[in-house]
Structure 1
């Protein structure tokens, strides 16, 4: 069985830090009804039978990593009784269940844990290693699992699975593309994007360790409804997407925070380009290199329009694996910072982000546990919902203090506000200190305070 270029890179990351949870993708759901664990196991077996990566193991051989398939019954539901647990402890148990390391060579890269507090109160934690999943896949997984459960209990419609492409087919398509004239043109395009630029880096609070670490934490920021509305309207008027607007201002925040005048960040994008991949669980992701270039005359609108152009053109070359662009140890990693969009209002389980829903006849709500922290210096996930935008900033705690990331978030927010009020403002001219604070600092400088 074959592995993609991205999977091989993730396999190596796991081999270098097998106890880390930085690449664990987790979706936890609080269930407020009685769960039949026998039926849930049956549904789990059907799910694993349909999505082959969920029953794959990844051992090492003399030729490198390989992928081996196990039977659908190889994944067993792990039921853990946690009676008399308060809300905070239950949440922490769900988080820890997602963080447990995978033994990808021996038992694969997927598990399902049911934390049962009471007969009608439980949390189902589904966790995968990034080797076999991505953000969309985790939601497909949960959708399909509960569809199977509902069909078996008679509380849901019969399941009519759509066709899912074999993973080897995806890998072969990737290899064929890389070797084709289109693949060569894509490589040349990305080399042109990256030419003369290094990975974006923010000034750190502590020296960078000799070896990359995966210790992380999360900071969240949300645009208020009025700002979110202005963002949608202003972006539409300028013919760009809201994400391109946020990405351009994000690059401006990096520039104003010390990342320099020219740099690269990564924008993970989907590679689900065929009907057979759209309903599949797998690692259908490639990170698009996006360049940030600044001069004293660069305006906020310039950065937004550049982001829009790069995203649009980059998607035409998204099949080319970014790992093949890495310049090796002499250059260092291609990305230390990434920014991606998750359209929460278009995920396969509608409404789960916003509030309680019915899944397979069970009342369910999201248990939003922290995850995937510390993969890079900074990874940003922009969650676009029906009502607004929320940004999840995951950062490496060996490099940054929480206050530094909060300050960066404030800088980004100020640049968003400035861009919506006056898009033609030069990035260098945006005041990043609140007016009252500015007066105070000026007073300190004059000795009047």
Structure 2
């Protein structure tokens, strides 16, 4: 069985730090009704029968990793009785279940843990390694798992047979594209886009270790409703997307925070280009290199418009794996910082981000545990839902203190606010300290005489 370029890169990262959970993708759901574990196991078997990557393992060979597929019964539900746990303890146990490392060569890249506190109170934790999953996949597998469960208990109708995506065919198509004239043109486009630019790198609080580490934490930014409303209005008025506006100001914040006048960041996008892949669990992701270029006169609006233009044209070349652009060992990473958007209203399980729902006849609500921390220097995930926008800044704790990331977050929101009020303001001209705070700081240094 075949592996894609992206999977091979993830496998190598796992080999370098097999005990890290940085690439674990987690979706945990609190269940408020009794769960029949025998039925849940049957549903799990049906799930992994449909999505073969969930029952794949990745041993090493002399030529690199290969993919071996196990029978559907190989994936077993892990039931853990935790009657003494309070709500906080149950959350900690769910987070811990999500952090447990995988042994990709032996036990594969998928597990399901049921933390049962009482007959009608449990948390179901689904965990995949990124090598077999992405953000959409995690929601797809939860949707399909509960659909199978509900069909067996009478809680929901039996799900319609889903088209099965052939992962080997996906990899063959990727390789054929790379070798084709279109693939050559895409590679040339990306080489031209990246020419002369290095990976954006924020000044660190500690020296960068000689070997890459994957230890992380998260800082959350929530836009207030007024800012979210202004962002939507300003974007619509100029035929821009809110994400492009946020991305442009994010790049401006990197520039003002010490990343220099020219740099690259990555923007992960989906590679689900066919009807079958849109319903499949797998690593359907590529990261588009997005350039930030600044002069003394670059305006906030120019930065936002550049971000939108690069995203639009970059999507036309998204089939070319970014892993093939790095130039090989010794050339350094293409980027150390990424920024992506998750639109909650487009996720396969509608409403779960915003409140309790019914899944497979069971009352369920999201248990939003920390995850995917430390993959890069900084990975930023922007969640857009009906309530507005929030950003999860996941950073490497061996490089940055929490205070430094919080300061960067304030710089970003400051530039965003100014861009909404006066978009043609120069990026270099935005004061990063509010007027009253600046007056206070100046007063501290004034001669008391």
Distance in 2, Cα, partners of 1:55 & 1:46: 11
Distance in 2, Cα, partners of 1:164 & 1:441: 62
Task: Kindly indicate whether the alpha-carbon contact (under 8 Å) linking 1:327 and 1:334 is maintained by their aligned counterparts in 2.
Answer: no
Counterpart for residue 314 of structure 1: 314
Counterpart for residue 163 of structure 2: 163
Relative to the length of structure 2, the TM-score reads 0.99
Counterpart for residue 300 of structure 1: 300
Counterpart for residue 115 of structure 2: 115
Counterpart for residue 432 of structure 1: 432
- What secondary structure, in the 3-state scheme, does the structure 2 residue paired with 1:419 have? helix
How far has the Cα of 1:355 moved from its partner? 0.5
- What secondary structure, in the 3-state scheme, does the structure 1 residue paired with 2:101 have? coil
- What secondary structure, in the 3-state scheme, does the structure 2 residue paired with 1:25 have? strand
Q: How does 1:290-439 map to 2 (within 5 A)?
A: 290-439=290-439
Distance in 1, Cα, partners of 2:64 & 2:38: 38
User: Structure 2 stretches of 5 or more lacking a match?
Assistant: none
CA deviation profile, 1:48-78 (whole Å, cap 9, x unmatched): 0000000001001122110001000100000
Relative to the length of structure 1, the TM-score reads 0.99
Q: How does 1:13-412 map to 2 (within 5 A)?
A: 13-412=13-412
Counterpart for residue 444 of structure 2: 444
CA deviation profile, 1:258-284 (whole Å, cap 9, x unmatched): 000000000000000000100000000
CA deviation profile, 1:291-341 (whole Å, cap 9, x unmatched): 000001000000000000000000000000000000333321111000001
Distance in 2, Cα, partners of 1:26 & 1:146: 16
Distance in 2, Cα, partners of 1:266 & 1:448: 50
Distance in 2, Cα, partners of 1:280 & 1:113: 22
Distance in 2, Cα, partners of 1:180 & 1:84: 59
Distance in 1, Cα, partners of 2:56 & 2:447: 68
Distance in 1, Cα, partners of 2:417 & 2:162: 44
Distance in 2, Cα, partners of 1:319 & 1:266: 15
Task: Kindly indicate whether the alpha-carbon contact (under 8 Å) linking 1:298 and 1:426 is maintained by their aligned counterparts in 2.
Answer: yes
CA RMSD, 1 decimal: 0.9
Show structure 1 runs of 4+ deviating over 3 A.
none
- What secondary structure, in the 3-state scheme, does the structure 1 residue paired with 2:276 have? helix
Task: Kindly indicate whether the alpha-carbon contact (under 8 Å) linking 1:268 and 1:339 is maintained by their aligned counterparts in 2.
Answer: yes
Distance in 2, Cα, partners of 1:165 & 1:78: 27
CA deviation profile, 1:396-417 (whole Å, cap 9, x unmatched): 0000000000110011001110
How far has the Cα of 1:346 moved from its partner? 1.0
Distance in 2, Cα, partners of 1:61 & 1:342: 36
CA deviation profile, 1:139-195 (whole Å, cap 9, x unmatched): 000000000000000110111122121101110110010001110000000001100
How far has the Cα of 1:448 moved from its partner? 4.5
Task: Kindly indicate whether the alpha-carbon contact (under 8 Å) linking 1:248 and 1:303 is maintained by their aligned counterparts in 2.
Answer: yes
Task: Count the aligned residue pairs.
Answer: 449
Distance 1:330 1:62, change over 3 A: closer
How far has the Cα of 1:131 moved from its partner? 0.3
Distance in 2, Cα, partners of 1:70 & 1:248: 45
Counterpart for residue 11 of structure 2: 11
Once structures 1 and 2 are overlaid, which stretch shifts more, 281-290 or 434-443? Answer: 434-443
How far has the Cα of 1:84 moved from its partner? 2.0
